[in-house]
Amino acid sequence: MDTDSIEKPIIARRWEQSPLRMLTLLATLIFFFCVAVSLIVPAIAQDIDTLRSGVVKITAKAEGKSKTGTGFVVHHTPDRSLIVTASHVIEGDQSPQVEFYTLPNVPLKARIVENDRKNDIALLEVSAGKQTPPAVNVLPLASIREIKDNEELTAIGFPRGGGPWAAVRLILSSRNGTGLTLSGHVDEGSSGSPVLKNGSIVGMITSASSFSRAVHADIVRFALEGWRVPLFDQQAKNTASVISQSSSQQPVTATTVPAHPHETRLPFEPEMARIPPGKFLMGASATDEFSLDSEHPQHEVMINYAFEIGKYEVTFDEYDAFAEDTSRKLPSDRGWGRGKQPVINVSWYDAQDYVKWLSDKTGKRYRLPTEAEWEYAAKAGTQTQYWWGDDIGRNNANCNGCGSQWDGKQTAPVGSFKSNAFGLYDTAGNVWEWAQDCAHDNYTNAPADGSAWLEKDGGACNRRVVRGGWWDDMSFNLRSVTRYWVSTGIAIDIIGFRIARDL
């Protein structure tokens, strides 16, 4: 028997017999729905308000015209607030004005502390006065690894027609080097806006249109750490456990002992190049138009010992042998392949653990190169911007505009380009390379003997030097003298390392 022919008439009869009962039930459902919405909406509004309290409106004047942009708070104390925005937002105005969400319509004068026009990142400072903004929220910086293509994100800014502190829905269309491409309606008022996921910053908008460009949070963090801005972020929670796992941070003492004439290189050992003793000028010359303060003063270094350094950046093949032998998680290759690709997504501590393992396995004394050793080996007797000359040329390296097939897309297999006079490959571009040295603002009082520069003279050893530039970097950052520093616990797809060895 067809049950539908029975059930439908029964329902119809019940409706006809008691329409009031059905209406009462419907009204009850609507009531509870409204109650639920009334509970949810304030919670959502409260969360958005919390996020907005970490976002500021920036007004700058240039050539008689006023322009609006956005910024976000990265450090806040009762005395001052430090704010990040896009460099072009404040271009032409040395004293832009800032408005806080919790102190609306009260513009406060800001001071430009740092301005990295190359990466379109600027740092502003607002000092406390009579009108101190209450309840300022410092938004944490997340890692690029925490977002995926086509993921829904949020930007808070000042797009035209969107109202102040408007929350705009965005979709991550793609990632390309330092950049994120986002779809969604934002305009110039959103330049400098934080791109958010789950309350954390994953990027900052640098150009606004129907398809916007953003620099990812790892690059923002990179700049802030170079500027010594104290950061509150998700990764800080793991710092203690990471530090407890670190290997020795003692100064490296290079010695000259005879090399073994018939040494055997094990299959998992990186190929090494012998570097002779020598003297060189370290740092940028006074006439280098691309130089930063951190690359000065130029000074003479005498390395009076021979040492070895990796011909190539450590590869996935070499690192994976260590990871599998020690039962540790394999780092992601981002789908670019393993094998002869340079290992990426490894922290300074990972590199330290690798050289300790390699030393134990081989009985040889492996370590990270000192910063002076790295520059001496990379220059290979030259004083030009790159070891091959002053122009980047074409197909000499992997970077943004280097003319290689991998430019701005991914890492290249090690050894894809010519070597320098010492037989080293990829010292310019491909991936940044960890060094042993701690972070110092410049070379004042730097060692002149090739040794690692650690805590002495105010070294910040929670950050270590990286050298060489990376696969989507601008060519001027591939110069042999370029130096940056990164937190020791950070592992991202633009940093790898090569190793050194005492003889």
Angle at 202 between CA 196 and CA 207, to 5 degrees: 85
Residue where a domain stops, chosen among 244, 279, 314: 244
Q: Are 214 and 353 in the same domain?
A: no
The pLDDT of residue 272 is 95
pLDDT in tens, 366-379: 999 999 999 999 99
Structural domains of the chain, count: 2
Q: Is residue 417 within 8 Å of 270, Cβ to Cβ?
A: no
Looking at residue 75, the DSSP 8-state letter turns out to be: E
pLDDT score of 135: 79
Residue partners of 14: CB distance under 8 A and separation at least 6: none
Domain stop point among 244, 268, 286: 244
165-219 pLDDT, tens per residue? 888 889 998 876 567 888 887 777 889 999 999 889 999 999 876 678 888 888 8
pLDDT band for position 344 (cuts 50, 70, 90)? very high
Residue 114: what pLDDT? Answer: 92
pLDDT at 38 over 60: no
The pLDDT value recorded for residue 470 is 96
Q: If you ran DSSP here, which 8-state letter would residue 236 be given? A: G
Please state whether the predicted TM-score (pTM) of the whole model is above 0.85. Answer: no
pLDDT for residue 116: 85
16 pLDDT higher than 60: no
- Residue 147 inside a domain? The answer is yes
pLDDT for position 226 = 76
Same domain, 360 and 291: yes
- Give 241-294 pLDDT, tens digit per residue: 222 222 333 322 233 333 344 466 788 899 999 999 999 999 999 999 999 999
Last residue of a domain, one of 211, 244, 277: 244
Same domain, 306 and 378: yes
What is the C-alpha to C-alpha distance for residues 454 and 438, in angstroms, rounded to an integer?
5
pLDDT of residue 78: 81
Angstrom distance (rounded) from CA 222 to CA 439: 12
- Phi first, then psi, for residue 425 (nearest 5°) are -110, 150
pLDDT at 352 over 90: yes
